[in-house]
């Protein structure tokens, strides 16, 4: 791996994991996606979230590779993948993953997604049901019409206190990321400040995302182009909500894992209107970043659910 003052390449990071992982790229659905693959068995595809890369799965990949042919993907706009001007609605991004699954030589796969990756996974199950055997969503369900009613200001004294005391995750960035140009000007070369803020407010265990991981994520988002691309996932959410309204309840079995603070909302959101076979399970003593804070719980849940 590279020295202390440099950022390891994706190839170096992949080689550092147990399980004979390799870093590669695929041109699918009109976009180039970076992915890391290792292990043997039935296919399992992992989709990450903002503001991270495939590296967020580093703690779960080696053990999952003992059971599956597992592929961790940088979504369109993320990390080593291309950052086009358009295509960040989740139905298009789901098409990326459906094409990638075929490119990898599979007719279908188990899919697990965290954060934005959970939303992509849901749209994949809804729009390409034959591509998804079972879906695990990690601390997010899918943006629906209720998201259009999130207040601009914290709505309760508890939300204000949480922001003041450095806990909780009132989603101010949902609005901030709608802006064009300003986020790039404010954050380019300084994205580490945002990484640390999100960790401070949304991790129960600060050490679970270590210094190296924070440097890797900050580096991945430090350029204006990367900031613009990542914000595209948020700027398309009105379209995502509109697309959701065209689907019926998903018939693919879904397991939603939720951190303690997210569990009540996700239990309500992931109801019968979202799917015919949904389980919502709370992960105790964990915040938002489940694959890094609660890797053992994620591993056990994925294997138990997917078989």
At 114, list the tokens. 């965290």
pLDDT (tens digit per residue) in 224-273: 999 999 999 999 999 999 999 999 999 999 999 999 989 999 999 999 99
Query: Does residue 164 have a pLDDT over 90?
Result: no
User: pLDDT band at residue 163, thresholds of 50, 70 and 90?
Assistant: confident
- What's the rounded Cα separation, in Å, for the pair 128 and 108? 10
Q: How many domains does the chain have?
A: 1
Query: Does residue 1 have a pLDDT over 70?
Result: no
- What's the rounded Cα separation, in Å, for the pair 244 and 148? 13
- Domain that residue 293 falls in: 10-306
- What's the rounded Cα separation, in Å, for the pair 301 and 215? 29
At 252, list the tokens. 């693919």
Residue 180 included in any domain: yes
Residue 123 included in any domain: yes
Residue 281 included in any domain: yes
Q: Are 129 and 252 in contact (CB under 8 A)?
A: yes
Query: Does residue 216 have a pLDDT over 70?
Result: yes
Q: What are the DSSP calls for 245-303, one per residue?
A: TTS--B-S-EEEEEETTTHHHHHHHSSTTTBSSEEEEEETT--S-HHHHSHHHHHHHHH
In the chain, % of residues over pLDDT 90: 90
Q: Are 46 and 113 in contact (CB under 8 A)?
A: yes
Query: Does residue 169 have a pLDDT over 80?
Result: no
- What's the rounded Cα separation, in Å, for the pair 193 and 51? 12
Q: What is the pTM of this model?
A: 0.96
87: left (phi over 0), alpha (psi -120 to 50) or beta: left
- What's the rounded Cα separation, in Å, for the pair 75 and 167? 28
Which H/E stretch holds residue 26?
Answer: strand 22-28
Residue recorded with tokens 């599956």: 68
For residue 233, the domain's CATH number is: 3.40.50.1820
At 195, list the tokens. 């990484």
Closest to 14 in 3D by CA, of 33, 39, 31, 32: 39
Cα-Cα end-to-end distance for the chain? 34
Residue 1 included in any domain: no
User: Residue 42, SS3?
Assistant: strand
Residue 108 included in any domain: yes
User: pLDDT band at residue 158, thresholds of 50, 70 and 90?
Assistant: confident
- The pLDDT value given to residue 168: 74
Query: Does residue 2 have a pLDDT over 50?
Result: no
In the chain, % of residues over pLDDT 70: 98
| 148 secondary structure, DSSP code | G
User: Residue 9, SS3?
Assistant: coil
- The pLDDT value given to residue 4: 54
Q: Can the peptide bond before residue 51 be classed as cis, meaning omega within 30 degrees of 0? A: yes
- What's the rounded Cα separation, in Å, for the pair 176 and 21? 36
Query: Does residue 59 have a pLDDT over 50?
Result: yes
Residue 234 included in any domain: yes
Residue 122 included in any domain: yes
Mean of pLDDT over the chain: 95
User: Residue 113, SS3?
Assistant: strand
pLDDT (tens digit per residue) in 91-134: 999 999 999 999 999 999 999 999 999 999 999 999 999 999 99
Residue 201 included in any domain: yes
């Amino acid at each position: 791996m590279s020295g202390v003052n440099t950022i390891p390449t994706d190839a170096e990071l992949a080689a550092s994991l147990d399980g004979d992982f390799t870093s590669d790229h695929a041109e699918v659905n009109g976009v180039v996606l970076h992915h890391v693959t290792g292990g043997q068995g039935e296919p399992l595809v992992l989709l990450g979230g903002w503001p991270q890369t495939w590296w967020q799965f580093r703690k779960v990949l080696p053990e999952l590779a003992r059971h599956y042919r597992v592929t961790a993907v940088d979504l369109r706009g993320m990390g080593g993948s291309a950052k086009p001007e358009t295509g960040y609605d989740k139905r298009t991004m789901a098409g990326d993953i459906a094409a990638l699954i075929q490119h990898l030589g599979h007719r279908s796969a188990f899919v697990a997604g965290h954060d934005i990756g959970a939303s992509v996974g849901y749209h994949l199950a809804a729009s390409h049901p034959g591509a998804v055997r079972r879906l695990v969503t990690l601390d997010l369900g899918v943006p629906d019409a209720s998201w259009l009613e999130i207040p601009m200001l914290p709505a309760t004294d508890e939300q204000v206190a949480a922001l003041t005391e450095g806990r909780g995750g009132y989603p101010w960035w949902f609005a901030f990321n709608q802006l064009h140009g300003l986020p790039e000007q404010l954050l380019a070369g300084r994205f580490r400040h945002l990484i640390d803020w999100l960790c401070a407010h949304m991790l129960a265990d600060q050490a679970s995302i270590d210094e190296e991981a924070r440097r890797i994520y900050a580096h991945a988002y430090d350029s204006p182009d990367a900031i613009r691309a990542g914000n595209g996932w948020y700027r398309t959410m009105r379209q995502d909500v509109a697309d959701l309204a065209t689907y019926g309840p998903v018939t693919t079995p879904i397991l939603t894992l939720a951190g303690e603070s997210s569990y009540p909302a996700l239990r309500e959101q992931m109801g019968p209107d979202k799917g015919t076979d949904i389980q919502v399970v709370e992960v105790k003593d964990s915040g938002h970043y489940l694959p890094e804070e609660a890797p053992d719980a994620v591993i056990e849940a994925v294997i138990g659910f997917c078989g």
